[in-house]
Chain A
Amino acid sequence: MDKSLERFYNGVFKENPTFVLMLGMCPTLAVTTSVVNAIGMGLSTTAVLMFSNLIISAMRNIIPDRVRIPAFIVIVASLVTVVQLLMQGYTSELYKSLGIYIPLIVVNCIILGRAESYASKNPAIPSFFDGLGMGFGFTISLSCIGFVRELIGGGTFLKGILPAADFPNGIVIIPDGYRISIFVLAPGAFFVLALLSALQNHFKAPSATNTGNTSEMACGGNCAACFGETKLENHITIDKDIEKKELEAKKKKEEALAKAKAAKENANAGEGK
């Protein structure tokens, strides 16, 4: 049970597929125009991921190594077809708004990646939970992006999730005319993803662009990505340092002079005697 929990935690936080592994960017950028789309996409991917991991892991000893990729694809494609038909039947609205991206789950690199790197080498139960964790991580990330894009671009909050009878447009937060509609278009997806990744880097969370610093230097030791030269306070520090050294040198010189003088006077006094 511990192992399963560990896999779940790993998928949601440590190896979050969107923000840490940077996998599955195509659906991430394309369908996150609203929270409901993001959750729909995330949950359908989760369903496929759990069962594809389970089946692939159970069959890992009978699939010949040479044809493993086609075999994985067949399994994933069958599961995606099941999910697609179920969605078409029960959540017709969502099915329409996600469109081509549901069949495209087949080629989602998270699913193939997990099958290849985890499920094909590990027992069935941990693989199942690995899929669950990865799927949840994916869903949460997509929902974060979808939340920001829906809020700024569409001005609404949780449209399509809250009961339609009471809230036909969700909770309207930004009135019409003040919405920055570029955020529900393709450029907005990049803006929001970049912004959230930057925040993640700022708080030193694990991510693809924030690799662990192994250096023991205070600055991190990553000279290639260093902006130190452009920072004003670094120049001030260097200048202060130089000034301090100059002052010290001056002081030493003066002391030496004074000593020499004193020695001379002593000598003079000696001669005088």
Chain B
Amino acid sequence: MMAGKFNVSSSPHVRDNSSTAVIMKDVCIAMIPTLAFGCFQFGISALIVVICTVLACVLSEYLYEKLMNKPITIGDFSAVVTGLILALNMPPQIPVWMPVLGGIFAIIVVKQLYGGLGQNFMNPALAARCFLLISFAGAMTNFSSAALKFDSTSTPTPLGFLRANGIKIALDQYNLLNIFLGRIPGTIGEVSTVALLIGALYLVVRKVISLRIPLIYIATVAVFVFIFGDHNSTTVLYHVLSGGLIFGAFFMATDYVSTPVTKTGQVYFAVFIGILTGLFRLFGGNAEGVSYAIIIGNIVAPLLEKATLPKAFGREAKKA
């Protein structure tokens, strides 16, 4: 029993109450406003999708670790966070087995097969979303408005509308206030900018995330859209507020595991995924591109870290 009592480790010996579980719980709390709004807007079907996805993630993590004789890590809430992010990326009317399959894929293939939390090379929830998007393109982009409480005529998301019809008609369909409040079709989590910002504020106040990546990311997308779009500030605002950009910037591009740890690396990372998002949105085949941009950024993250490794104290280049 000695091994349990003495923690033999190398420095730094940080005495602090923060742990993986505390941080992950904070992220869960920060997603509650978004979750509540999604359930309010899309009804019970959204809640069922969320519950089933989270359960699938936690259960698959538990079963895998049990079968592989590894320590059970469902207590650190990381599987819950993965499930929540994945579920909030789903359209509300999706058949429930699809996000469940995605959750299993996220935990088993993307996270556990690479060695569990901290070893996954890309964000499991986003990888699973892309897996589902490629496999079930129809169901994943069907934002049928049958369950919406305010509008029952249109199906495309604001971004799809903007892409197809230009900014004037898009503004007639969904004005900026409605987009900001979330009275639009979309995935469960991405619609309400205001609910997402409340959660993001909580994370920033609790010092779970820093604003470096989200702000630079959003600013890069805005500049890109302004330069390569129609040079219209309303279009820029439309791009920033609609789609998954806010959700992605605050909740997915700030993942500790799959983003660079160095400060300059984080800046490059944010600019890189910002440019990719702009490229995908303006010139790609789909109206949305946040998730692909972030997972490509995840793949580049180790290179960025290597390139921006800070010099050790005393080893800085001497001034001539």
Residues of A within 8 A of B (CB): 177, 179-183, 185, 187, 191, 230-233, 235, 238-239, 242-243
- Enumerate chain B residues within 8 angstroms of A191, measured Cβ to Cβ: 109
B320 CB-CB contact with A under 8 Å: no
The distance from the CB of A52 to the nearest CB of chain B, in whole angstroms, is: 38
CB-CB < 8 A to B3: which residues of A? 235, 238-239, 242
Q: CA separation between A230 and B117, bound complex, in Å?
A: 13
Tell me the minimal C-beta distance from A236 to chain B in angstroms. 10
Give residues in B with beta carbon < 8 Å to A: 1-4, 69-71, 101, 109, 131, 134-137, 139
Tell me the nearest residue of chain A to B101, going by C-beta: A180
Q: Which residues of A contact B4 (CB under 8 A)?
A: 239
Q: Whose C-beta in chain A lies nearest to the C-beta of B97?
A: A178
Which residues of chain B have C-beta atoms less than 8 A from A177's C-beta? 139
Q: Is the CB of B1 within 8 A of A232?
A: no
* Chain B facing A: main interface SS: helix
- With A235-B3, A239-B3, A243-B1 as contacts: A182 and B131 at CB distance below 8 Å: yes
Q: Is the CB of A181 within 8 A of B1?
A: no
Q: Which residues of B contact A230 (CB under 8 A)?
A: 70-71
11 interchain pairs (CB within 8 A)? A181-B134, A181-B135, A181-B137, A182-B131, A182-B135, A183-B135, A191-B109, A230-B71, A231-B70, A232-B70, A243-B1
A233 touching B69 in the complex, CB below 8 Å, given contacts A239-B3, A242-B3: yes
Q: Which residues of A contact B70 (CB under 8 A)?
A: 230-232
Instruction: Report chain B residues within 8 Å CB of A243.
Output: 1
Q: A230 CA to B139 CA in the complex, in Å? A: 39
The distance from the CB of B70 to the nearest CB of chain A, in whole angstroms, is 6
- Total A-B contacts with CB atoms under 8 angstroms apart: 35
Q: Could you tell me the distance in whole angstroms from the C-beta of A226 to the nearest C-beta in chain B? A: 13
B134 to A182, Cβ gap below 8 A? yes
For residue A250, give the distance in angstroms from its CB to the closest CB of chain B.
14
**Interface pair B135/A180, CB less than 8 Å apart:** yes
Residue in B closest to A234 when the chains form the complex, CB atoms: B69
- The verdict on A232 contacting B101 (CB below 8 Å), with A181-B136, A182-B135, A242-B2 known, is no
A200 vs chain B, min Cβ distance (A): 16
Report A-chain residues with C-beta under 8 Å of the C-beta of B131. Answer: 182, 187
Q: Kindly report which residue of chain B lies nearest to residue A235, judged by CB atoms.
A: B3
Contact partner of B1 (CB less than 8 A), chosen from A179, A182, A231, A239, is: A239
Distance (whole angstroms) from the CB of A42 to the closest CB of chain B: 27
The CA of A191 and the CA of B139, in the complex, are separated in Å by 23
Residues of B within 8 A of A181 (CB): 134-137
Cβ–Cβ < 8 Å partners of A183 in chain B: 135
Are B134 and A185 interface neighbours, CB within 8 A? yes
- A230 CA / B131 CA spacing, docked (Å): 29
Docked CA distance A191–B187 (Å): 28
Q: When the two chains form their complex, are residues A232 and B69 in contact, meaning their CB atoms are under 8 A apart?
A: yes
Q: How far is the CB of B299 from chain A (nearest CB, A)?
A: 13
Q: In this complex, what residue of A is CB-closest to B72? A: A232
User: Who on chain B is nearest to A191 by CB?
Assistant: B109
Alpha-carbon distance A187/B3, docked complex (angstroms):
43
CA–CA, A230 to B71, complex, Å?
Answer: 8
